[in-house]
Structure 1
């Protein structure tokens, strides 16, 4: 073989290695599973959802209803899948994240998204307790009757995620503010917010103002936005105020307790840019009017979905290829990342 041919072959192998080892790229695309969406009411059997996805399975009539209405997104293919509980942001609807849920579910996860409330005050205690009750319902087998035929949920542990105020509630669960029926496998907080500002936190306050004070029980990923800390206009407050948003949550994580943590920030995107392209109604309109936006939501949604999948793959599925790919080649993400931070045993050893 000639030298030129060898160089060409080496180049091809390098490209192949990058593509395969950067499963980082793969998680940002829709996965191999078709997915179904099902609504489960507090007191009724599952009902069919409109739209382009498949509808809910039948057979839930004899099951115990969940403590809160649910939107469940699951792979259609038979098999057993880990569960991610996703907690919505302040005063929004769980279905505003349906495209994000479909992305995650297409990679082999069941996403359970409760509607924690319609109207709520400042105190998040009821939301924390309601989310813990949902985990108890899952652990008790309530999910089995509302999944597609042949699909089973692994409820020996659950991962917890949440956006905005829901990210704060997710942290509260991982910190033990409510007793959970099963362990937390992983924590993913999407632009979490703890109130209107430093000294204006909503009860119970999660942030303490002290570095490494949050002893969460599982590996944690904090996803942030650069525009969330900026007001949309002179008369509007920022949706994710500096000092009580993603950087503060990450800075206060006790990595020794969590085992590992990472912090990824999409600097050119806003607080609600991971939601669906269309968010109907007055609440949906407010998601665009109040919070500053980076424009099209699809890139940010792909990033949040892919990063979540990569993190769960590593800490739930035991496959770190995609997460390692993001760490090594953050430029392959569908958005420009202004912050890429990782803390784990290896990183801690390097700083000591």
Structure 2
């Protein structure tokens, strides 16, 4: 009972007030600007040292669309750094993988200057996460597929409905560099991994548009290729974009609503993704596995209906 109560807390906002910080690539007041524009979420006033998550956005999405998710994670005592990797991209994601590596390398030299004065980053506890194509990019970076060498090691990896493909008008093509090998437990990641899947991701929107997370290119195959320790949480009644903000303005925001099959509202899925990410990071960064263990043992405490698969 105590574990269930504790785990429910991760699906609510945490104890820290948060601030969202936008950082451009050429601000006049920064001696070491980042290689890509950033949206950073951090505790606003509490002094302390906090783990860091690098969050990679989905295909053609904007980092601002993840503001509510970023605030949720940050409110539990984490710094979230979300680079805008590109504004337009095609079937080759090599440039954005390199940009993610360059952003990661920038953290040790540039992050402190843009955080609130009393907030410090703990880069020995560094998590890599990504949504959709950003999830594929995160796996690619963790697997060493960047031509930009990494200066910092990652402690854990989170794939939020990752997809190793790009939808065309009638089908999906695997994007380059390919990540999926279709060989079980072939990923030599040397870190714990969590994969979050959407139950509606394999469904076509209105029965016509290509599925946003098609079978064979989605979370199930990513998890299959992970070695232990690996976790997979599948939100059965929610879609590929349902962890984004409620309000995603502009054409790209409209696409986020119109291109994929969605659940009834985004709020429950967003709380689930934020909460399970916090639970996973506490387990592997802070040696507190009560949250993920309770979810495994009692999945109905989650705000959405889930199935859980674990390989320890």
- Work out whether the TM-score is over 0.5: yes
Residue aligning to 1:49: none
Any idea what SS the aligned residue of 1:162 has? strand
Q: List aligned pairs for 1:37-186, cutoff 5 A.
A: 37-44=20-27, 61-76=29-44, 77-139=46-108, 141-178=109-146, 179-186=149-156
Q: CA deviation at 1:199?
A: 8.2
1-side partners of 2:150 and 2:297: how far apart?
Answer: 35
State yes or no: 1:280 paired with 2:249. yes
- The answer to whether 1:331 aligns with 2:304 is no
- Mapped pair 1:294 → 2:267: no
Given that residues 239 and 261 in structure 2 are in contact (C-alpha distance below 8 angstroms), is that contact kept between their aligned partners in structure 1?
Answer: yes
1:235 counterpart (208, 212, 224):
208
> Where in structure 2 are there 5+ consecutive unaligned residues?
none
Q: Which has the larger radius of gyration?
A: 1
Structure 1 runs (4+) deviating above 3 angstroms are 19-22, 196-199
* TM-score normalized with structure 1 length: 0.85
8 Å CA contact 2:135–2:161 kept in 1: the answer is yes
- Give the TM-score of the pair, scaled to structure 2: 0.95
CA contact under 8 A between 1:225 and 1:267: conserved in structure 2?
yes
1:341 and 2:273 aligned: no
- 1:278-333 deviation line (CA, Å, top 9, x unaligned): 00001001101110001110000000000000000011111111111111111000
Partner residue of 2:190? 217
Root mean square deviation of aligned Cα: 1.4
Equivalent positions of 1:171-210 (< 5 A) are 171-178=139-146, 179-196=149-166, 200-210=173-183
Q: Distance in 2 between matches of 1:63 and 1:95?
A: 25
Shift of residue 72 of structure 1?
A: 0.3
Unaligned runs of 5+ in 1: 1-17, 46-60, 345-352
- Contact persistence 2:38–2:84 (CA under 8 A): yes
Q: Which moved more, 1:101-110 or 1:323-332?
A: 323-332
Check whether the contact 2:91–2:166 (CA below 8 A) recurs between aligned residues: no
Partner SS, residue 71 of structure 1? strand
Displacement, 1:63? 2.8
**How far apart are the structure 1 equivalents of 2:30 and 2:210?**
47
Number of matched residues?
A: 306
Contact 2:125 2:285 in 1 (8 A): no
Question: Structure 1 CA distance, aligned partners of 2:134 and 2:190?
Answer: 18
